[in-house]
């Protein structure tokens, strides 16, 4: 089992920045991919970004490309999501996820482990 704990959400004005963190514990050696998803009220959970745990290769949704950056600290078993130039439409609960599978998957079923989520609110 892998446990994931997110932190770093909050309220920010449009154009501002936030950094989310996701600390992994447990069987972290089994992790191949870590990702971030988000879910706004009344909407389905959507892919934001993912990182290959070993190679560091990254992939982003078009909606956040150029504004968000995902990176990891293997020594701390932590993945981060740096969010810049935030927009009101970025408001959502952000979830960290981990998968033992590699590859560029943007579907929720690819990921076996999920954090509890952290709320991000961007005001206009």
Task: Give the containing element (helix H, strand E) for 16.
Answer: none
Provide CB contacts within 8 A for 47, sequence distance 6+.
Answer: 35, 37, 61, 106, 107
Instruction: Please give the sequence-ordered ranges of beta strands (E in DSSP) within 1-124, or none if there are none.
Output: 2-7, 10-13, 18-26, 33-39, 46-52, 58-60, 68-73, 78-83, 92-99, 113-114, 118-123
106 SS3 class = coil
pLDDT band at 102 (very low <50, low <70, confident <90, very high): confident
CA distances from 16 to 36, 65, 82 (A): 19, 16, 11
Task: For 24-77, write each residue's pLDDT tens digit.
Answer: 999 999 999 999 999 999 999 999 999 999 899 999 999 999 999 999 999 999
**DSSP class of residue 12?**
E
Average pLDDT over residues 5-24: 97
């Amino acid at each position: 089992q892998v446990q994931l704990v997110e932190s770093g959400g909050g309220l920010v004005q449009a154009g501002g920045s936030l950094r989310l963190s996701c600390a992994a514990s447990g069987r972290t050696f089994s992790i191949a991919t870590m990702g971030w998803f988000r879910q706004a009220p009344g909407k389905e959970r959507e892919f934001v970004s993912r990182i290959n745990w070993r190679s560091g290769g990254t992939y982003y949704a078009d909606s956040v490309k150029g504004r968000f950056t995902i990176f990891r600290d293997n020594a701390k078993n932590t993945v981060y999501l740096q969010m810049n130039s935030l927009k009101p439409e970025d408001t959502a609960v952000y979830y960290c996820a981990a998968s033992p599978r590699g590859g560029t998957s943007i579907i929720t079923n690819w990921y076996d482990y999920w954090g509890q989520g952290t709320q991000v609110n961007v005001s206009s």
